[in-house]
Amino acid sequence: MTRAKLVERILEQCVHRVDIVFTPAQIQERVDALFESIKAALARGDEVELRGFGSFRLRRRKVREGRNPKTGAAVHVPEKVVPFFKAGAELREMVDP
């Protein structure tokens, strides 16, 4: 699902509620703010936990020797930090009942 599709789906859900009226631009702002908040927290080294959905955290990958797939030559791969997502129990059960 793309960001635009996500905004559309949220807008569809809001249409059924009389007490909540948002424009697509307002929803886009909120979706962008959510993603920016998650990225900023990870950049600070914090973990982000969304109950029922999952958690985002950083994982450290160790230094290793890799291979160039074209030539087969050994290549030094430096240590790096990568984002990692772990699905929550509710999401796992929804996906694989």
For the segment 34-83, what is each residue's pLDDT rounded down to a tens digit? Answer: 999 999 999 999 999 999 899 999 999 999 999 999 999 999 999 999 99
- Bridge partners, 77 (sequence order): 64
Whether residues 36 and 57 share a domain: the answer is: no
How many domains does the structure of the chain reveal? 2
Whether residues 55 and 78 share a domain: the answer is: yes
CATH number at residue 89: 4.10.520.10
Q: Is the distance from CB of 41 to CB of 35 less than 8 angstroms?
A: no
Q: Give the pLDDT confidence score for residue 77 in this predicted structure.
A: 95
**Per-residue pLDDT reduced to its tens digit, 83-97:** 999 999 999 999 988
Q: Give the pLDDT confidence score for residue 18 in this predicted structure.
A: 67
SS3 state of residue 84: strand
What is the identity of the amino acid at 76? H
DSSP result, 8-51: HHHHHHHHT-SS----HHHHHHHHHHHHHHHHHHHHHT--EEET
Whether residues 40 and 79 share a domain: the answer is: no
Range in 9-13, 28-32, 71-75 with the lowest mean pLDDT: 9-13
Whether residues 51 and 97 share a domain: the answer is: yes
Say if residue 20's pLDDT is above 80: no
Whether residues 7 and 40 share a domain: the answer is: yes
Q: Which two tokens stand for residue 9?
A: 């789906």
Whether residues 18 and 41 share a domain: the answer is: yes
Q: Give the pLDDT confidence score for residue 14 in this predicted structure.
A: 78
Whether residues 31 and 55 share a domain: the answer is: no
pTM: 0.77
Q: Is the distance from CB of 55 to CB of 88 less than 8 angstroms?
A: yes
- Supply the range of the domain harboring residue 71: 47-97
